[in-house]
Amino acid sequence: MTETGPGGPDEATEETAPVESGPVQEESGPGELGDSPTAESAEPAAGSDVPPAAGSDVPPAAEPDYEGPRRRARREREERRAARDRAVAIEHARREAKRKVNGQPSDSPNTVARSTIRGLKVLLWSALVSVVAVALGLVLYFTPAMAARNVVVNGAAAIPQEQVLAAAAVAPGTPLLQINTDAVAERVATIRRVATARVQREYPSTLRITVVERVPVVVKDYPDGPHLFDRDGVDFATEPPPPTLPYLDTDNPGPADPATKAALEVMLALPPDVVAQVGRIAAPSVASIALTLADGRVVVWGTNDRTDEKALKLAALLTQPGHTYDVSSPDLPTVK
């Protein structure tokens, strides 16, 4: 209210009621607290998503864990799987880069697939070939399509061919695959004059028997006649010897007799031109070997040590005149 004094308007005095500064609060009922402006400055309720005011010293409330154990385990598995896939991808990229640097072809899925298909084809063809081979073998084994219609003997000079065929005992018409070649060779080797025997199948219908005959090296007289001995000391024949074959003088000639083996070792070491001059070789023991030439000259050999050296010395000494040639000491050979 304005009051006008006696002095007029210029002297009027304005009286106003004091006014308090600050926000004016209005009363509200209990149901209207949420709409009050003062609610903005109030502390957020627990569990509210409203962040604290800037500059506030009150720490933010911890977020609630709505993830259960199963979801957490599933998430961890997915993370591990993703890490593993990433590692595999990195390793594959590293290998591809290395192949490119080295100029090698890329190991792409198509290449792997082609390799797998190629391997399966090879395996399939191998199995097919094996089946065909087995079937063909059965046909050849049980049918006379490839039977032994011809038996050929090679290497038999002093042995009659009929004797070899009889020892082989191969029935005509027997399928070649049913013939045990080792057994046939063993039967043929039982012939005294045969040193070795070999049996071969020659398709479609031939069985070949190859023999190596024993060659006489020395001969020894027995009451029933002269016996021929080969290089191994085997007595393989009783028949007249070749004209230039030397005679053997030992007590118990045979492949297991040391004196016989020593005498044969000397004969095999001599040059052919010297062997042709030897008429007799005596070996009462391995330490006292002596040779008698066809013209009567004598060779003192001694033991069978250093046989090759003694043979060379003897070939040179025989060019000198003399009656006794001593090569028992090859370092000091003598002629008397």
Mean pLDDT, the chain, whole residue set: 81
- pLDDT above 60 (res 263): yes
Least-confidence region, from 130-144, 184-198, 305-319: 130-144
Burial class (CB in 10 A: 0-12, 13-18, 19+), 223: exposed
- Per-residue pLDDT, 251: 92
- pLDDT above 60 (res 279): yes
- Per-residue pLDDT, 113: 66
- Per-residue pLDDT, 140: 66
- pLDDT above 60 (res 93): yes
Structural domains in the chain, sorted by start: 147-213 (3.10.20.310), 216-335 (3.40.50.11690)
Report yes or no: 229 and 236 within 8 Å, Cβ to Cβ.
yes
Determine the average pLDDT of the residues in 176-196.
Answer: 95
Report yes or no: 270 and 314 within 8 Å, Cβ to Cβ.
yes
Q: What is the pLDDT of residues 33-80, one digit of tens each?
A: 344 434 343 444 444 444 444 444 545 554 555 668 888 888 888 999
Determine the average pLDDT of the residues in 194-211.
Answer: 95
Whether pTM exceeds 0.85: no
- Per-residue pLDDT, 336: 92
- Per-residue pLDDT, 331: 94
For residues 324 and 302, what is the distance between their CA atoms, to the nearest angstrom? 13
- pLDDT above 70 (res 273): yes
- pLDDT above 90 (res 166): yes
Q: Give the CA count within 13 Å in the CB-facing half-sphere of 189.
A: 11
The residue among 103 and 23 whose pLDDT is bigger is 103
Q: What percent of the chain has pLDDT above 90?
A: 54
- pLDDT above 90 (res 91): no
What pLDDT band is residue 223 in, cutting at 50, 70 and 90?
very high
Which residues touch 263 (CB under 8 Å, ≥6 apart)? 218, 248, 250, 281, 282, 283, 289
- Per-residue pLDDT, 66: 62
- Per-residue pLDDT, 64: 55
- Per-residue pLDDT, 300: 97
Determine the average pLDDT of the residues in 188-215.
Answer: 96
- pLDDT above 70 (res 108): no
- pLDDT above 60 (res 109): no
- Per-residue pLDDT, 5: 44
Q: What percent of the chain has pLDDT above 70?
A: 75
Determine the average pLDDT of the residues in 83-108.
Answer: 79
- Per-residue pLDDT, 146: 82
Report yes or no: 197 and 211 within 8 Å, Cβ to Cβ.
yes
What pLDDT band is residue 112 in, cutting at 50, 70 and 90?
low
Q: What is the pLDDT of residues 229-260, one digit of tens each?
A: 999 999 999 999 999 999 999 999 999 999 99
